[in-house]
Amino acid sequence: MEAGMGGSGRPGTRPDLVIFDCDGVLIDSEPISLVRLTDNLNRIGVPIDLDTVARRFTGTSMTSIMAHIAADYGVTAPAGFADEVRADTLRAFEAELTAIAGVAEVLGTLPDRRCVASSSDPARLSHALTLTGLLPLFGGHVFSASMVKRGKPFPDLFLYAAERMGADPGACLVIEDSVPGVRAARAAGMRVFGFSGGGHWRHDPAAADLLGAGAALVFDEFRRLPELIAA
């Protein structure tokens, strides 16, 4: 499935930098993470189900999630809650985590400069990318929302990544799987492709959701990325 029309950092040219989200783009972690988050929220008294968590919080930092939980449900997380969720999720990763099909092959041949910019914390990012064998493919260029003041859907993380990589935001291409991530990329002045091949996208409006947020196109097979960048 593909929707929208092509182009890269600037339409008709290759991007100076390709910025990849991690969860749901490089690794098929979102189904695992969302289940663990839902169970832990239920544990502290938040009456929320998996579908609601997936719809509202996919691609969102833990800081933003807990702010929404406090505002909408009146539940303040106990001390150490975020660390407990993180540890629980990492244990599940050890047993279940896989890379998105085709990622290693594509990154092994893609000529463009690249980095990762994710809402996940640095420890989780490093652990997940190491488990799936993808970390060496980014040469240490991995950036977390914990490095900036505001997470997605604000543009701070993408702008920070571009600055650290010495790239003009207008010449960057972002690969994102979530509405907050697409909105963050567009707010940063970057072109963005939506990816809907992760296990958490189980509903038909995936393309409409990402296109509506500002993605130039949506694709669901990672192996198609080189041809889409070249278009």
Same domain, 121 and 212: yes
* For the chain, the helix, strand and coil percentages under 3-state DSSP, each to the nearest 5: 50, 15, 40
Same domain, 216 and 127: yes
Same domain, 42 and 71: yes
Tens digits of residue pLDDT in 171-202: 999 999 989 999 999 999 999 999 998 866 55
Same domain, 22 and 124: yes
How many structural domains does the chain have? Answer: 2
Same domain, 34 and 110: no
pLDDT of 204 reads: 47
pLDDT of 124 reads: 86
What is the reported pTM?
0.81
Quick one: tokens of 207? 């393309």
Last residue of a domain, one of 38, 68, 96: 96
Tens digits of residue pLDDT in 128-179: 999 999 999 999 999 999 999 999 999 999 999 999 999 999 999 999 998 9
CA distance 136 to 12: 30
Same domain, 115 and 217: yes
Same domain, 126 and 182: yes
Look over the chain and give the mean of its residue pLDDT values, rounded to a whole number.
90
Same domain, 121 and 209: yes
- The phi and psi torsions of 19 (rounded to 5 degrees) equal -105, 120
Classify 27 as helix, strand or coil: strand
Last residue of a domain, one of 66, 96, 126: 96
Tens digits of residue pLDDT in 39-58: 999 999 999 999 899 888 88
Read off the CATH number of the domain in which 76 is found. Answer: 1.10.150.240
Range of the domain at 36: 30-96
On whether the CB atoms of residues 176 and 182 are closer than 8 A, the answer is yes
| Beta-carbon contacts of residue 222 (< 8 Å; ≥ 6 apart) | 100, 101, 102, 103, 106, 195, 197
CA distance 173 to 25: 14
Residue 221: is its pLDDT beyond 60?
yes
Last residue of a domain, one of 96, 122, 151: 96
